[in-house]
Amino acid sequence: MLQPLLKKFEGEHMLYLTDLVNKTALVTGGSRGIGREIVTQLVKNKINVIFTYNNGVDQAEALVDELKNEGVVLRAIRCNLEEKSDLDHLIDFLSELPMKLDFLINNAGFTMDQPFLKMKDEEWEKVLQVNLTAASYLTRRLLRTLLVQKGAIVNITSISGLIGTKGQVNYSASKAGMIGLTKSLSREIGRLGVRVNCVAPGYIKTDMLNGIPKDKWDKIQKEIPLNRIGESEDVAHMVLYLLSSYSSYITGQVITIDGGLI
């Protein structure tokens, strides 16, 4: 029988998932947007976090400073996901930590939008490398540790990987690949005690969508049954749930966070 998982710590107003306390997570792309909120929510639930960033050094340092008094280990490490040497350095860094990795959140991703007929090879290859290939490489290299720890993996995909998006064939393909990775891997390792799931955000207020004109935002919002654009917290809370014992019978799933859009 599951013990109570929620506890209100003395002097605090928020509730903690107590089965996550003192666990350790790696979050890729954790300095901005959804990744930043995932890092914040993990730390506030007393999870040790190592997160990667590439160009956002100022944002990474600001986040570490903001969360430095939460009583957990928090480290930001620069990692260019296009470079295998950076990925290997990250893995070496993790192996030298005193605690073992329990959770992997493959969140990093970016876009290089272009109509497919005009898309350059480098625009295809870079998006696939960062959004999919790097995630698969990290997962494979860290999997033995996660198996020992009976941990969990959460991959951040997108509704673009489910329905496709005009002008984003490379991005949609990379996110669809993430779904395939999740479903196949969950079947391989479920009996070994590691769960693998996907979270597929819809329209979320992040820097990635800052260029969308207001009139288009208004049109999009009207098409969403819940009549609002999503917040990063909406995604981060689902990640927390999928890491916790509350989701102990869930694996191989793609959970959309899109206000009912699809």
d(CA 88, CA 70): 29
Cα(21)–Cα(127) distance, integer angstroms:
34
CA–CA separation, 38 vs 143, rounded Å?
21
- Count Cβ atoms within 10 A of the Cβ of residue 213 and give its class: 0-12 exposed, 13-18 middle, 19 or more buried: exposed
Q: What is the DSSP letter of 155?
A: E
Alpha helices in 103-165 (DSSP H): 121-128, 134-149, 160-163
Instruction: Answer yes or no: 53 catalytic.
Output: no
Q: For residues 205 and 86, give the distance between their C-alpha atoms in angstroms, rounded to a whole number.
A: 29
Q: Can you tell me the distance from the alpha carbon of 26 to that of 145, in angstroms, rounded to the nearest whole number?
A: 12
Query: Does residue 230 sit in helix, strand or coil?
Result: strand
* Residue 240: partners with Cβ closer than 8 Å, 6 or more residues away: 17, 20, 41, 42, 45
Which is catalytic among the residues 171, 203, 241, 246?
171
- Give residue 153's Cα distance to chain centre: 9
Which residues are catalytically annotated?
171
